[in-house]
Amino acid sequence: MPELPEVETIKNDLRPRLEGRRITSVSILWPRMVLGSSPEDILLRLTGRTIEEVDRRGKYLVLRLNGGELLLLHMRMTGSLLLRDTLDAGPERYVTAVLGLDNGRELLFCDRRKLGTIALARDESALDGKLGPEPFEPRFTPDVLRERLTRRKGPIKSVLCNQKFIAGIGNMYADEALFLAGIHPKRPAGGLTDAEVAKLHAAIRTVLETGIGNGGATFSDYRRPDGARGEQQNAFYVAHRGGETCKICSTPIKRIPLNGRGTYFCPACQAASTCS
């Protein structure tokens, strides 16, 4: 699933290629991907609009359009956005939507499982109620993280994956942050010490920055807009490494189910003695 580093990579790749471009055509090939309106409404409201800014909020790619509206793209489990030249284009698999641009290029939304969504919003309030703070915001400090964890009884891994708690972190980077902080994924979130919260705050930012620097992680479907794979999967310590040995202590990485998610951790580096 594309998480913050993957969507940030897509944003960075698309910014110089989409900003200032006018949308000349819209094709919705999977009507159920449209939220809050209809494919016909999306076509009517998007055609002829100019993309003024490419941004990100949590796991959403946000295209700011002239006139003030936002086009929100959420790639969910298996979505990717590919940019290609129309005249040179061959067949592409799993295409659910296509935006034609005034320079002869196309932005393709490809999604094998067809879970990704597209929506038009009037302003930022469409996302504000759904998402917690951004991990890189200056106001997201260790004190803020500590305050938000207070009275949280659920496992820390599940809390980190809750988009209303903090925006952009999913399964892979939650596992990596907890490993770097030395915290077992089943620890009750509200029971972390001040020192552990400080380590976790630093670890969250470190693993996300590393993921962005490596262009995101590709295990199956995720691709950058030019079709290239990400490289972060080669740098993971625990995520998707069940049965392999820990890069720090050589203990086999363990995989457990946790609230419906496959969760990876090192039993030695992430002590379980304080788990409930």
DSSP 193: -
Phi, psi of 200 (to 5 degrees): -65, -45
DSSP 49: -
| The pLDDT of residue 125 | 86
Q: What is the pLDDT of residues 126-153, one digit of tens each?
A: 898 899 999 999 999 999 999 999 989 9
Q: Pick the catalytic residue: 2, 39, 135, 155?
A: 2
- Is 59 a known active-site residue? yes
Report the percent of the chain where pLDDT is more than 70.
Answer: 97
Measured CA to CA, the distance from residue 224 to residue 11 in angstroms comes to: 10
Q: Is the pTM of this model over 0.75?
A: yes
Q: Distance of alpha carbon 221 from its chain centroid, rounded? A: 13
Q: Is the pLDDT of residue 252 over 60?
A: yes
CATH number of 142-265: 1.10.8.50
Report the percent of the chain where pLDDT is more than 90.
Answer: 89
Q: Is the pLDDT of residue 89 over 80?
A: no
Q: Pick the catalytic residue: 188, 205, 261, 267?
A: 261
| Average pLDDT, integer, range 93-106 | 96
The tally of CA atoms less than 13 A away on the side-chain side of residue 223 is: 16
CATH number of 4-128: 3.20.190.10
Q: What is the pLDDT of residues 147-200, one digit of tens each?
A: 999 989 999 999 999 999 999 999 999 999 999 999 999 999 999 999 999 999
Phi, psi of 97 (to 5 degrees): -155, 150
Split at pLDDT 50, 70, 90, the class of 276 is very low
Q: Is the pLDDT of residue 27 over 50?
A: yes
Q: Pick the catalytic residue: 56, 59, 105, 157?
A: 59
Q: What is the pLDDT of residues 40-81, one digit of tens each?
A: 999 999 999 999 999 999 999 999 999 999 999 999 999 999
Task: Tell me the average pLDDT of the chain.
Answer: 95
* Domain extent listing, the chain: 4-128, 142-265
- Find, among 165, 73, 44, 65, the residue nearest to 123 by Cα: 65
Q: What is the β-pairing status of strands 70-74 and 79-85?
A: unpaired
Topology alike, domains 4-128 and 142-265 = no
Q: What is the β-pairing status of strands 95-101 and 70-74?
A: unpaired
Token digits of residue 86: 């129309």
